[in-house]
A and B are shown apart, each in its own frame.
Chain A
């Protein structure tokens, strides 16, 4: 758990996490749904409201803390993971959440995101991916698809996009998940899992920008098509997707994915479908999962990876405890008088 100190938590409701500030995202923005679901999950986490801190950078998603009735810090572009690291190292008992976007987190803030993840600071990092810059009115982001035409490159994007999950895995993430803005149940479950994880929990949230990149995730957001477009991940269960009559599975051979047609009564495991194991220590399997992209493959949704590694703030506190144990608590007088001194009469 993210909460080393067990505290009695009063019964809270979603209302307790709403602020008096008017929410100022565009009508139809995916952020509304994420906000509502975060507010729904907060009371279930066993954390007192005053022990939550929401930290953000700059961008549409980064307005998030203003709408959460917790402690919150709306910082500077891309640097939220660094601010959050400082907060968590200073006060490990706090539950610290980072809200960022594809531009904030992967462009200007790529360096900070990388280092927060590889240190495994116990943060929940929610990266809202809408594949566009919204607040600056529609420039392409580091996740925008090749060829996408927009204001800052009317002839189409020529920058190869980065995949947030592959980035996090490359940085050595211990927890990596993907969820969808409008999928309330799935989103809530991933948030609960992220909070329970000890270390950096990296969550990509596929989020629609109705103004500058509408429909980017339509296939996976629409319940009618999600069955075909999404690959639900469940630990210990085979990688199966599709509606009745169109069921298919995925088998990885040497990291290469293959689609397997499944009859309705077929046993997927017997048919060779790979069983999802989020606890595989080596990241290659999670990378292979992250590499599944449409149109050839469904989009994996859920927890790709959840492994254990000591979190940074705990290691730091252990060093302090060890130092105190070995040398006693710091004594200022002894420090100032250490080494060679002399007395002038």
Chain B
């Protein structure tokens, strides 16, 4: 390939087509890496690529500058074909300082590109990052190192503006963004529009200029002989947008209110990584949504149950430690048989754990974490976009069966983005609510023969005044009852009601094959990594299939049969073995777990190895 001649101050360089690329932006938590990654993601989506992202940031808002603890990263994987994971190894690392290099270098594909802000590689910063010697000679040897005086170039671009050095310095992430836009031929207009909308006066002008300076630097600098082109992916036709799991989840709640014809009440208490759901819902008061930031997690759940008693679509949303506090209220919702959706955006624990890191270790709490026998349906979305549909389904089931429903999302799904085909609103399921108004034959716990749901008779309905509560109910009348046979019957009914939901589930269809040597069973946000690993293994001739469970309680009725059709079952989970325990307990199959609890999603490569080992055994 030859380098095109520069003409009229503009360089035209050759394009090289590549099929897929993973880029990681890394810097101090104050460097704006999440913003840079988000903007690159939006632009990449508009370029028509399939994509997946992994934001990875510390819980501290501003850890000491330049230290490893403060490093914030954002990885994006995009391609001209299917993308289901953020990729195991980035092809390109943009490191804004030595700490970012040190924290991320080991992940970069050998021979990959490492772009650094050379101005930040001072002795002081190297020392802060814990480097004793200059790391760059070694980086040069193993990677394609590109050293750019990013801070200086930023200042130069802003020389005639009336900005302090500190203010000017803040724009330098836009230089990196511009450079990457040029390198991968991304459209810049959406970001320019966004800058114009978002920033006033000189700050906006500074960001615009620095972004363009990054692009021009790519065009003219001899450091980059070639730019890359990642052609659009072949994606199902339709209207698309980028969406994170938390946004999809919140919009699913909004949609449930619209499609079911009732306003939504959402009780929540701030907690990472679930707070964005509250923030997103709070923007939509014009949908009649009542968000309520309660005094604590318990009150958030309690207020939501109160709203459900009063006839609203009730939501409470939290993460693990908050979900633990809510169990008391959920316990009451089980016996009161009121519709409530409780979302746990799981994070690494126990206790405060690692708030910004992902894990899927609250499954057993969702299933068994309450006093006595307290069954609740449990659903789990598999992808960020699926968070939308799962909320519609959760509300539908909650109301139809008069039961609290748990939705288990996780930190990865919450923050990860993917292109999402915007659903046709007219095609969304409608499930209007029918409250009980008929006096004749009314009793608070007289059940529907099919669903076993009790009637939803709400305050304000004449003639249906009744009392419910946490004391055991007499079957039918709902009066307080301590009779032995009645408690047995009510316990059985509560369980049976949840079990009957399984009649609605579609038949299970493992990806790849319906029977054979090995089945990999997953649930929740590990879908992308497992599906990719299984597809790759099958392409390499391995006899393996993938089954992903969206319903964790009740389990699908055909699950036992599906498991029995495979010689071996492996269950990879980001916990120490929770679903595998349930499968072994329930179906007496010798399923093997594969556990990882590092606060990070599975790598495709490690799952490939798990598959190969299981087939060799």
Q: Give A residues with C-beta under 8 Å from B.
A: 19, 21, 48-56, 58, 65-66, 68-76, 79, 82-87, 89-91, 93-94, 111-112, 114-115, 316, 319-320, 322-324, 326-330, 332-333, 335-337, 339-345
B565 close to chain A: CB less than 8 A:
no
Q: Residues 450-484 of chain B: 1 if any A CB is under 8 Å from the residue's CB, otherwise 0?
A: 00000000111111111111110000000110000
Known contacts being A74-B467, A323-B286, A336-B425, is A344 close to B462, with CB within 8 Å? no
Q: Which among B285, B296, B306 is the interface contact of A86 at CB below 8 angstroms?
A: B306
Q: Which residues from chain A contact B332 at a C-beta distance below 8 Å?
A: 75-76
B238 close to chain A: CB less than 8 A:
yes
Q: Residues 311-344 of chain B: 1 if any A CB is under 8 Å from the residue's CB, otherwise 0?
A: 1101000000000000011011000100000000
Name 10 interchain pairs, CB-CB below 8 A, sorted by A.
A19-B467, A72-B465, A72-B467, A87-B307, A87-B459, A323-B286, A324-B288, A330-B284, A335-B251, A341-B422
Q: Which among A86, A91, A326, A330 is the interface contact of B459 at CB below 8 angstroms?
A: A91
Q: Are A86 and B310 in contact (CB under 8 A)?
A: yes
Known contacts being A335-B254, A340-B45, is A82 close to B425, with CB within 8 Å? no
Q: Are A340 and B302 in contact (CB under 8 A)?
A: no
CA distance A327 to B425 in the complex (A): 20
Q: Which residues from chain B contact A53 at a C-beta distance below 8 Å?
A: 310, 459
Beyond A66-B467, A83-B303: 15 further Cβ-contacts under 8 Å?
A49-B465, A50-B464, A74-B471, A83-B305, A86-B304, A86-B309, A87-B307, A87-B310, A89-B303, A90-B311, A91-B458, A94-B459, A330-B287, A340-B42, A340-B241
Q: Using a Cβ–Cβ cut-off of 8 Å, how many residues does chain B contribute to the interface with A?
A: 70
Q: Which among A82, A111, A337 is the interface contact of B239 at CB below 8 angstroms?
A: A337
What are the 8 A-B residue pairs with the smallest beta carbon separation, nearest first? Answer: A74-B469, A86-B306, A330-B287, A86-B303, A72-B467, A82-B302, A323-B285, A82-B299
Q: Are B235 and A86 in contact (CB under 8 A)?
A: no
Q: Which among B265, B286, B423, B469 is the interface contact of A336 at CB below 8 angstroms?
A: B423
Q: Are A327 and B286 in contact (CB under 8 A)?
A: yes
B153 close to chain A: CB less than 8 A:
no
In the complex, which of the residues A58, A68, A87, A324 has the most CB atoms of chain B within 10 Å of its own CB atom? A87
CA distance A343 to B265 in the complex (A): 34
Q: Are A341 and B239 in contact (CB under 8 A)?
A: yes
Q: Are A86 and B238 in contact (CB under 8 A)?
A: no
* Contact residues of B between 274 and 309, Cβ < 8 Å to A: 284-290, 292, 294-296, 298-299, 302-309
B490 close to chain A: CB less than 8 A:
no
B236 close to chain A: CB less than 8 A:
yes
B137 close to chain A: CB less than 8 A:
no
Q: Which among B307, B329, B480 is the interface contact of A90 at CB below 8 angstroms?
A: B307
Q: Which residues from chain A contact B218 at a C-beta distance below 8 Å?
A: none
Known contacts being A75-B469, A82-B299, A111-B295, is A50 close to B306, with CB within 8 Å? no
Q: Which residues from chain A contact B458 at a C-beta distance below 8 Å?
A: 91
* Contact residues of B between 211 and 261, Cβ < 8 Å to A: 232, 235-242, 251, 254-255, 258
Q: Which residues from chain B contact A343 at a C-beta distance below 8 Å?
A: 237-240
CA distance A85 to B306 in the complex (A): 7
B267 close to chain A: CB less than 8 A:
yes
B48 close to chain A: CB less than 8 A:
yes
Known contacts being A83-B302, A344-B237, A344-B238, is A93 close to B48, with CB within 8 Å? no
In the complex, which of the residues A50, A69, A114, A322 has the most CB atoms of chain B within 10 Å of its own CB atom? A50
Q: Are B296 and A111 in contact (CB under 8 A)?
A: yes
Q: Which residues from chain B contact A48 at a C-beta distance below 8 Å?
A: 462
In the complex, which of the residues A53, A65, A71 has the most CB atoms of chain B within 10 Å of its own CB atom? A71
Known contacts being A72-B468, A94-B459, is A86 close to B265, with CB within 8 Å? yes
Q: Are A340 and B460 in contact (CB under 8 A)?
A: no
Known contacts being A316-B290, A320-B288, is A82 close to B303, with CB within 8 Å? yes
In the complex, which of the residues A54, A70, A339 has the most CB atoms of chain B within 10 Å of its own CB atom? A339
Q: Which among B295, B312, B460 is the interface contact of A114 at CB below 8 angstroms?
A: B295
Q: Which residues from chain B contact A320 at a C-beta distance below 8 Å?
A: 285-286, 288, 290
Nearest neighbor of A115 in chain B, beta-carbon distance: B295
User: A268: shortest Cβ distance to chain B, in Å?
Assistant: 43
Q: Which residues from chain B contact A85 at a C-beta distance below 8 Å?
A: 292, 294, 299, 303, 306
User: A49: shortest Cβ distance to chain B, in Å?
Assistant: 6
Q: Which residues from chain B contact A82 at a C-beta distance below 8 Å?
A: 294-295, 298-299, 302-303, 306
B14 close to chain A: CB less than 8 A:
no
User: A84: shortest Cβ distance to chain B, in Å?
Assistant: 6
CA distance A261 to B462 in the complex (A): 56
Q: Are B465 and A69 in contact (CB under 8 A)?
A: yes
Q: Are A50 and B479 in contact (CB under 8 A)?
A: no
Q: Which residues from chain A contact B307 at a C-beta distance below 8 Å?
A: 86-87, 89-90
